[in-house]
Structure 1
Amino acid sequence: MDVSQPDERSIRLVIADDHTLFRQGIRELLGGVPGLDVLAEGATGDEAIALTAQFRPDLLLLDVEMPGPGPRAVLRRVAQINPHTRIVILTMHEESVLVHELLKRGAAAYLVKTIACDELVAALRSVCRDQSSVLLRISRGTFEGLDQARPETNPLSAREHEVLCLAAEALSNTEIAHRLFIAEGTVKRHLTNIYAKLGAVSRIDAIRKAAAARLLPAIDDDDQPSRHPPPAVLT
């Protein structure tokens, strides 16, 4: 592959993937490319977040299926920690709904692991060079399914939608209040408004109706907060 043209400044990146052999292979590959500086690697969602906080890289190369917080939670936390870190999804999974959700949540690129080495390097450089663009390297079938993956018009406000998403993750009112830095009474008021807008009679009914209307992202177990202490950072 042609990697002979480095950028003016090195692109600092972190790799997060729970498959050790693949992760180490990517690190070795990218570490030898002029203009790319691999700072560290991690194997869990917790490590991806911790490494972002520690190094504040230009790029986070992220798998979508790892232990700990899932990609949606990682995207949210990375945006809070360092909004300048751009996230490039590199995965074997390319379901249309997942692609749409992660791009909507701020991923700068969505690439499948069948991508060629030179294409990966070009994509990483392009993401840093043009921060207004979004890169896709997915199958035609997945691309054609993106329109169907778009949710219907959302009657909820941005804050109400955020509260309902957290409720769908099985967080209590107290936990939601803590996560959003608002009062528990405010959470209850938002839920009351949500019930009225969706014609729901309970939290479970609201979640069910929102899911049926495609107002909620699919919830994976990986998106639940880790119940274990964060593992040691790999560098």
Structure 2
Amino acid sequence: MTIRVVLADDQQLIRTALRMVIADIDDVEVVGEAANGEEAVRLAGELRPDVVVMDIRMPGVDGIEATRRITAGTGDTHIVVLTTFDDDDYVYGALRAGAAGFLVKDMGLDDILAAIRVVAAGDALIAPSVTRRLIQDFAARPEQARVRRPLTAITEREREVLTLVGSGLSNTEIAEQLFITVATAKTYLTRLLSKLDARDRVQLVIIAYEAGLVSVTR
């Protein structure tokens, strides 16, 4: 099955580089390109792509607002935000808007392609460098500014899994850490998504931060 992708970036060079790489890939196809957020929203509605690779800083409607509009309109299109280190202030906003992946532009093209496949499959992915910065940003916030979510609805084992998700571990790593099978780890993830009314793995990461389950090493 071919993964249909829309590229949204105001830099034509970035779009061209991604399009050229994707052209050589059998299971991924670029079906549209947008130079701003408004075009990205329109193309997402018209083309119903599996994935939109979204820049944040674009003229007019930015990537965060475009992500919010797209994810609110359909559950079939997933957003991979592709940005630079200078955009750290936007990370939390993009994730809250419903982005399923958050990558940085200095990552290898192979890594970006891998992320597109992961997100298209319904999982989520955040670049390790972004995860560290997100945790540090959350830790630096005043205590009263943090939203604490009650986790009374989940079991102790589910709390353990949520903590590991918040630490950035994959399903395989969670299984190894807890001495369970990958299938069991996925079952716990499914239960957490349902009990915490979370859209995807990224939102579970945010909930883990907000609940204070993630320890931060400076």
TM-score normalized with structure 2 length: 0.60
Q: How does 1:1-235 map to 2 (within 5 A)?
A: 9-93=1-85, 95-129=87-121, 131-138=122-129, 142-148=133-139, 151-153=145-147
What is the Cα deviation at residue 144 of structure 1? 4.1
Contact map agreement 2:65 2:97 (CA 8 A) in 1: no
- 51-60 or 67-76: bigger deviation: 67-76
- In the alignment, the residues of structure 1 paired with residue 43 and residue 85 of structure 2 have an alpha-carbon distance, to the nearest angstrom, of 23
Amino acid at match of 1:99: V
What is the Cα deviation at residue 137 of structure 1? 4.3
What is the Cα deviation at residue 114 of structure 1? 0.5
Contact map agreement 1:94 1:142 (CA 8 A) in 2: no
| Aligned CA-pair RMSD | 2.3
Contact map agreement 1:58 1:86 (CA 8 A) in 2: yes
- In the alignment, the residues of structure 1 paired with residue 95 and residue 119 of structure 2 have an alpha-carbon distance, to the nearest angstrom, of 13
Deviations 1:166-193 (A, max 9, x none): xxxxxxxxxxxxxxxxxxxxxxxxxxxx
What is the Cα deviation at residue 142 of structure 1? 1.7
Unaligned runs of 5+ in 1: 1-8, 155-235
- 86-95 or 19-28: bigger deviation: 86-95
Q: Larger RCO: Structure 1 or Structure 2 (Cα < 8 Å, ≥ 6 residues apart)?
A: 1
Cα gap change, 1:135/1:153 in structure 2, threshold over 3 Å: closer, same or farther?
closer
Cα gap change, 1:21/1:133 in structure 2, threshold over 3 Å: closer, same or farther?
closer
Contact map agreement 1:45 1:67 (CA 8 A) in 2: yes
What is the Cα deviation at residue 55 of structure 1? 0.3
What is the Cα deviation at residue 52 of structure 1? 0.4
What is the Cα deviation at residue 97 of structure 1? 3.8
Identity level (%): 31
Please state whether the residue corresponding to 1:87 is helix, strand or coil.
strand
Please state whether the residue corresponding to 1:138 is helix, strand or coil.
helix
Unaligned runs of 5+ in 2: 149-218
- In the alignment, the residues of structure 2 paired with residue 126 and residue 82 of structure 1 have an alpha-carbon distance, to the nearest angstrom, of 19
Cα gap change, 1:58/1:96 in structure 2, threshold over 3 Å: closer, same or farther?
same
Please state whether the residue corresponding to 2:127 is helix, strand or coil.
strand
Contact map agreement 1:95 1:142 (CA 8 A) in 2: no
What is the Cα deviation at residue 143 of structure 1? 4.2
Amino acid at match of 1:61: V
Aligned to 2:181: none
What is the Cα deviation at residue 67 of structure 1? 0.8
TM-score normalized with structure 1 length: 0.56
Please state whether the residue corresponding to 1:145 is helix, strand or coil.
helix
The 4+ residue runs of structure 1 with deviation greater than 3 A are 93-97
